[in-house]
Structure 1
């Protein structure tokens, strides 16, 4: 998966778009079967709809994506027999994150998408090892009983170090360090949001698609959180000193 992801980011264009479309559609299916494990066919139809819609509005003016984005979440919520708001909100966020990744790659190039992915990865790795080594108070025990404050803060520090490396090696301003830390927190919140969803649905993994590792939603939850946050920052703010 890592090799495929790196190749897709580097290739860009339609190759990366289709990779994102596939992953997004699969995560919509996983979201549906977490809520409705007894109705997988509906989940497949929703995944196909998401793939069609996402493929379509990646080729049109980006201003139109706001009109296309709610189609599958609204249809899925209407077809759902329970947790309609939950499905609608998560489906909307998954699609927005996928769209944001493609736009970020298109607008800023492969290097900066690698930066975004690297921030998410080092946050997760540093948090895991620091949490195991240092332990201490739990970050949010009611939702994610394994996450500690030590691991959370270690993730922020690791992300800031990534920001420092990119600040030194690229034209980006020093704001890249602060932004890296913000995206680190956003990734952690994405992870926690999916943990809360799984706890609510009473499941351990989003699916059994990857033996021993759960589903794509389990693997990409942090990246989804970081992508949505980066999308909002890019849409709403002109970050000073950040010359992508």
Structure 2
């Protein structure tokens, strides 16, 4: 019984902090424009601050410098033509690569992903509207929430016990089912049809890949959470790792099947 209670010991804190994050996200997405751009830039900057703090602990100045540079680059890029935006977006990754003395490849990979994913989120909101961004966010959040409850309620074999001992195959598959339901519901409003179910499941898998990538990086660095900013959740990177994977996947597949899907 004690073990069962411990499974749900972090639920209250997670739910409270999660509700606040969802509310802020909904307001930012709904308002769009400068408000959403600022929100995305702030989130990206904080994630790089957390990343550098893990890679170079004890150095308060470098994480702030690279986090601030990232936020500024993301914010500037959205107001420029793509050709000028791309080098600005990648600049913080290269600057930090030159500043760090170790774990440079990890920094370069994750920072580039954070920058491009943030830019992609702003482009989806600006170019395709609230509906498609909500679809992306709801798929990722549903994958996380359904996976959390399914994993703890059903249990079973672990997905990657050496790196993420709490993740189970039941939770992983539960996330896919939740994403499929989201895709099915959104398919009625978009008029695209059931193809959106498959895309939503693939997006769910990409979000889980982002989660696994961050889990592997944290295990390598010997830390449990990216920071302690959010009660019950850790840091922003712990909450947005799935969004990073999903956003990057959407950027790639959007070039092949079109965005919005099914619209010429």
Please indicate the TM-score interval, normalised by the length of the shorter structure.
Answer: over 0.9
Structure 1, unmatched stretches of 5+, are none
Partner residue, 2:217: 197
Change (3 A) 1:235 1:66: farther
Residue 65 of structure 1: CA displacement? 2.9
Taking the aligned partners of 1:2 and 1:86, their CA distance within structure 2 comes to 29
Partner residue, 1:19: 39
| DSSP-derived class of the 1:69 partner | helix
Taking the aligned partners of 2:123 and 2:81, their CA distance within structure 1 comes to 11
Tell me whether 1:43 sits opposite 2:43 in the alignment.
Answer: no
Partner residue, 2:160: 140
Aligned with residue 92 of structure 2, among 50, 56, 72: 72
Pairwise CA RMSD of aligned residues?
1.7
Tell me whether 1:158 sits opposite 2:171 in the alignment.
Answer: no
State the number of aligned residues: 244
Taking the aligned partners of 1:184 and 1:83, their CA distance within structure 2 comes to 28
Partner residue, 2:121: 101
**CA contact 2:44–2:114 (8 Å) conserved in 1:** yes
Partner residue, 1:52: 72
**CA contact 2:77–2:86 (8 Å) conserved in 1:** no
Residue 159 of structure 1: CA displacement? 0.4
Taking the aligned partners of 1:214 and 1:147, their CA distance within structure 2 comes to 16
* TM-score, normalised relative to structure 2: 0.88
Taking the aligned partners of 1:241 and 1:213, their CA distance within structure 2 comes to 33
* TM-score, normalised relative to structure 1: 0.94
Partner residue, 2:147: 127
Structure 2, unmatched stretches of 5+, are 1-20
Taking the aligned partners of 1:138 and 1:166, their CA distance within structure 2 comes to 31
